[in-house]
Amino acid sequence: SGYPSQEYHVLRASLICDGRSLPLLSWIVPSEKQQNAKVQQAFLNTLFEAVNPKARVIIVTDAGFQNDWFRHIKSLGWDFIGRIRGNVRMRLDSKGEYWFRRQELQASTKPEYLGPGMLARSKYTRCDGHFYLHKKEPKGRKNKRSRCGIARPSQIKDARSAAKEPWLIFSSTNNFKPREIMKLYSRRMQIEQNFRDEKSERFGFGLRASYSRSAGRVLVLSLLATLSTIVLWLIGYHAE
């Protein structure tokens, strides 16, 4: 996510909980390095060192993370659940050596397990795993963005496209039912709620209005927001 401006992005790992997720690790990186494989792998290595080696970890990620990310997660002994978009090719073991794009798949409103297979045709980037497919029913939402808000047409178009497309989920595990896989993936939105809490000037900490431009100062703001989020979560948990 852009944080608090487009000059920097935050890489964040959060623990899925009831309500809001709890931030575990945040890195502030220049925007041009947000998709850098070495940066992402170093982030995962740091997270690996902080987690109990006996814990079973499942990394749930959106479509912005692809094969290098997935393969490194597997090398750490963890599992992953991620969404596949774009024109990347894949194949299913049941179809032999036939490679196809996700647009050729026919999705239904019932979550479906497609079977094991391979993602990416290039032998240097291939990753094996399991494919799941689900077409969510439209919710009939309309764009009611504030008149004072600013949104890029490309961002609006991409968000609409992502919402309409079926969910093609790629995972290293087949220990869950298709419906459970979809439910786990849907909880990725908890981390988006954290970002909104931190950046919103009206309902959150207002970091969008920050004039900090150095990575160090932005990291301090992120740390303060993280500590505040954890304290508020604990207060709510105790109250319940």
Q: What pLDDT digit, counting tens, does each position of 141-175 carry?
A: 565 555 555 555 554 445 455 557 899 999 999 99
Distances (CA, A) of 228 to 61, 89, 225, 231: 24, 43, 5, 5
Q: What is the token pair recorded at 215?
A: 């990575």
Lowest mean per-residue pLDDT among 9-13, 40-44, 89-93, 114-118: 9-13
pTM of the model: 0.82
Three-state SS string over 86-108 comes to: CCCEEEEHHHCCCCEEHHHCCCC
- Give the pLDDT of residue 156: 46
Q: What are the domain boundaries of the chain? A: 8-239
| Rounded Cα distance, 41 and 230, in Å | 26
CATH number listed for the domain at residues 8-239: 3.90.350
